[in-house]
Structure 1
């Protein structure tokens, strides 16, 4: 049971340049900031580190978190089934977390702590000057945030999240290093430690891997039986199986996603409307007698306001279309020729070793191109106006995925549809799957590890030169976390974290599986093996290789779900085109009975896709029942409040 007397854990750390910190001065900027944090109720502890860095470890007692949550109007579920703003004095009425027995999720707690860190500001009506080190000064303007100013002046080097060693060791033993469970994962414990977004990713990865098992067995059977007399019918059967499998998988994932959110108490409601909606003066529609019916019309939008909204809406649409056009033009005139040149050279190569060498060179070169394209996509996205940060992040995902889609599939389409060389296509798929997986593990695990070792060596060497220390070891877990790289995406961490690259890898693999399985059935097997490794490597990466990521709330996998569904539609067209190439050996593209049958099959598969979506409900019945029960309770208590006249105090 969590209590206000329990010793808080240090969960956030601020790295400060110790050479610029003179704690003896009463007007020192860092000392003043620490004093303000202590006055807000936070527990602060200072620890010396290597490389002239001082670490300010911060913990938040449960009462401080609770009162901050009340101030921020964080909504939480009560034992009555209602979701209401948290009140510290009524804390026993609110549902606790199943894993930690805490009042708050890690995401909620982090939000409260972050608010307190950034709430220290100059509340005076005139600038305040602080000393920094022995000779420098720092001026804080009225209303200016102190931590932001300290970061801008490079007094504060970084603010990062600390691992809890006990919980991390438990996850290492029961999850990352537990190879017996294969696809089973403690998603509730992952949610409690990392937050909803990371937990949803691993839940999706685990379910996707589970759903690959049966198709892998069937596909392996098809692969070894395709030389039989009846083997010519196998590609058609495999195409139908792949399409049906992809549709059912995504539908059942939606059901699992809804069940997880209900279990974790995460609300599906997300406000993505115009920012003006947040500025409505609700006080204008209430008075001592309740709602002022005569002033309801003031909440309406007049003709001029409607025109302004419409003008702004269409200007944003045009800006978005312009940015998307820039991305498309870049793909067609820059990336497409490069991809086709590589595909042609790969086909012309006479030795298999040379093909693998070309693939390695290509993958290294394309990283430069895609990183540049990703940075351009970020800049374009920032010029657009979105209703929320989630929508802005989704816009970035769509743009960057277009670049990676072309990079990943144009060579495959080139071999399959232009040359109709399915032997080369199979070799190409194997190369991409194997080499891409090896390079992915190197970039995700090996590179961060060597980056950490280099940073550790550099810090120790600096400490030896300046402090003449004989101790060459990092002296605390805090400094080890500081020297580790941030869990950020390849396109920057402004809008997305490292999960962007993890989801991108899965989406591209899903496309290869669904679009090319009929030409190379073993692609299912390669994907299954890859994902079994990916589950553990990603777990180790988050627990050991990178800093603990900042928790981010999420109700789904976001734009990635739309991309997976889009890939399912493209897979229907691609599979039918591949079947045409397989059966039309003369290359005449005549609409003979066989070709006509394939065209009919395409339409039937499209109908089946939408039919299965209607057949499989997106939410389990118990989730719908729970939501309906909550709505009835909400209505009941609202009517009771109106009956008792308590609404007059609102």
Structure 2
């Protein structure tokens, strides 16, 4: 079992392994020695200044064990200096959140003695990862033992070794006792309470904690929709056209919850010290390729790729590919309508129980096809976005998110828009929405809950067989070597992209068409509750521990949800305009109805825009704290500049005095 990480010191506290670095089993010895020396060398010598130990010194325990597995940690002082370099925010004695500095370390709330326990294990691992990523080539022209693995001054060593397959993986280790406590409070006991977001943030970092915070917030925000939807559905079962009030409630709901979430996330981000933290300078992503040149910003040599070529790839290849995929999705949708028409004709000709069941089959098949198409398109979008050769990871993610969102939105909602506004069949719209929502949730639960549970049980049985082969009684605590083996075989967590995408689609189902099928909110609430437990289980027992990633909000997904809410305003206004109750006010002029509907829709969009500016994203009391902190920083900077100016002026004045006295 791992010890709690000590935030620095080779002062008798012993080596605490934080991160595992696994190289290929057949990696050249000179490359292995060179990398480990780089990790352990001092910063002045171009190294990371970290501690590194080989997991199996000499011979591995079994023939299948990779001998090139290393444990990386850091002294207490090294981790503290790394926290200062990264600008980690910690709580000050006055309760405010400030960037940590070694000079003021005694003024931080939880800093005691030499700082043992001041940094969480997730923060220590994040610092180690940053230092490993910061390892740069100096005069080396290639990786030792690999002539074709070229290097140049300033090139990231870790990323080059990963791209060439020399470095297999780098991952942080779990802390078993803390993970047990988190598992118990998170998902092992059934409770009607909030998630332990502070504990999740402490163990996994702000990025993952904000996802679970948004999942929890979205679930509670759906409760009013569910409470209104259940009686509306029960007492208005046969009247498919009486949805005006529910659509109006939908308009207000989708606008208010997103504005309230921004304030809630800002409060959490301030408490966690990421709201006012400066964004780190982005380095080129590992897959970026180009001709070696001089970066005008950093002055370092690195690959350069003309933006014109990238834009040509985007607009001449990626955009046509996305349009082709949308056309294919449209073709599949038309096939679905043909199947639906055939099933309905059979039912109308001879209505029986089986023909009634048959009317639902096309919708179920179409829902499954949608999920398969989304999955295939996701892989194609990842390949295409990588081929576009974006320099920064943020640019890569933005282009990938845009491609995936456009296709998923069209693929999942095109049929519903067609039924609602072309066929204008509210009965069929309710049936299609219910089938799509239920089928997609069943598929997601199988993939996200049952499959991970089966994988975890299979992995545990594999570890038990290994223990029996060694013919030794299982210890009370898992040995470090076994823990590394277990975690190395775990799946790698690929980030929150798919999780946010699922919530985005569920938000669309609820905000766009739930006025026709009011039980949509109830189904999504049930899905989200199970999602919390399945995601928590996966994070604790299925995936490797991901590195902590500081985050102040949910990023580009906030814009995606806001765009969906704008579309929801247009959709619900159109549905209201199509309702018989509203049409009865315009019996003679359909044009007048359309004009009034468009005017109200534009007015609501304007009101939505006004609310976005009127309601501050950050609560007033947090704005005041941030302004006070900025004022204190400016005052401290002025005093420092004034002190330095006085020091610089003293020698000059003394020289003048001496020269004046000699002249006299």
Partner of 1:427: 431
1:110 equivalent in alignment to 2:144? no
The alpha-carbon deviation at position 155 of structure 1 amounts to 5.5
1:15 equivalent in alignment to 2:29? no
CA root-mean-square deviation: 4.3
The alpha-carbon deviation at position 355 of structure 1 amounts to 5.5
Partner of 1:591: 590
- Please list every run of 5 or more consecutive structure 1 residues that lacks an aligned counterpart in the other structure: 131-135, 282-311, 489-496
Equivalences for residues 294-333 of structure 1 within 5 A: 320-322=314-316, 325-333=319-327
CA–CA separation in structure 1 for the residues paired with 2:142 and 2:433: 63
1:487 equivalent in alignment to 2:493? yes
The alpha-carbon deviation at position 593 of structure 1 amounts to 7.0
Q: Select 1:44's aligned residue among 53, 61, 65.
A: 53
1:563 equivalent in alignment to 2:560? yes
**Structure 1 216/363 Cα, relative in aligned 2: closer, same or farther at 3 Å?**
closer
Partner of 1:543: 540
Partner of 2:212: 202
The Cα offsets for residues 145-166 of structure 1, whole Å up to 9 and x where unpaired, read as: 7655665665543222221111
Q: Select 1:410's aligned residue among 410, 414, 418.
A: 414
Partner of 1:263: 271
Q: Secondary structure of the residue that 1:158 maps to in structure 2? A: strand
Partner of 2:654: none
Contact residue 367 and residue 435 of structure 2 kept, 8 A: no
CA–CA separation in structure 2 for the residues paired with 1:593 and 1:120: 68
Contact residue 127 and residue 141 of structure 1 kept, 8 A: yes
The Cα offsets for residues 208-243 of structure 1, whole Å up to 9 and x where unpaired, read as: 111111121111122223269xx7885111111111
Partner of 1:478: 484
The alpha-carbon deviation at position 202 of structure 1 amounts to 0.7
Bigger mean CA offset, 322-331 vs 451-460 = 451-460
Q: Select 1:74's aligned residue among 67, 87, 96.
A: 87
Contact residue 19 and residue 72 of structure 2 kept, 8 A: yes
Partner of 2:573: 576
Contact residue 13 and residue 161 of structure 1 kept, 8 A: yes
**Structure 1 455/326 Cα, relative in aligned 2: closer, same or farther at 3 Å?**
farther
CA–CA separation in structure 2 for the residues paired with 1:227 and 1:459: 54
Q: Secondary structure of the residue that 2:55 maps to in structure 1? A: strand
CA–CA separation in structure 2 for the residues paired with 1:273 and 1:61: 26
Partner of 1:279: 298
Bigger mean CA offset, 197-206 vs 148-157 = 148-157
CA–CA separation in structure 1 for the residues paired with 2:594 and 2:573: 9
Partner of 1:526: 523
Partner of 2:332: 338
Figure out how many residues of one structure are paired with residues of the other and give that number: 593
Taking structure 2 as the reference length, the TM-score comes to 0.76
Q: Select 2:230's aligned residue among 220, 238, 260.
A: 220
The Cα offsets for residues 327-365 of structure 1, whole Å up to 9 and x where unpaired, read as: 542233222111232244245335454465545544454
Equivalences for residues 94-243 of structure 1 within 5 A: 94=108, 96=110, 102-104=117-119, 108-117=123-132, 151=162, 154=165, 156-182=167-193, 184-226=194-236, 234-243=242-251
The Cα offsets for residues 131-184 of structure 1, whole Å up to 9 and x where unpaired, read as: xxxxx99999786776556656655432222211112111111012233135x1
Q: Select 2:381's aligned residue among 373, 377, 380.
A: 377
Contact residue 448 and residue 484 of structure 1 kept, 8 A: no
The Cα offsets for residues 396-422 of structure 1, whole Å up to 9 and x where unpaired, read as: 111111111111111212222233222
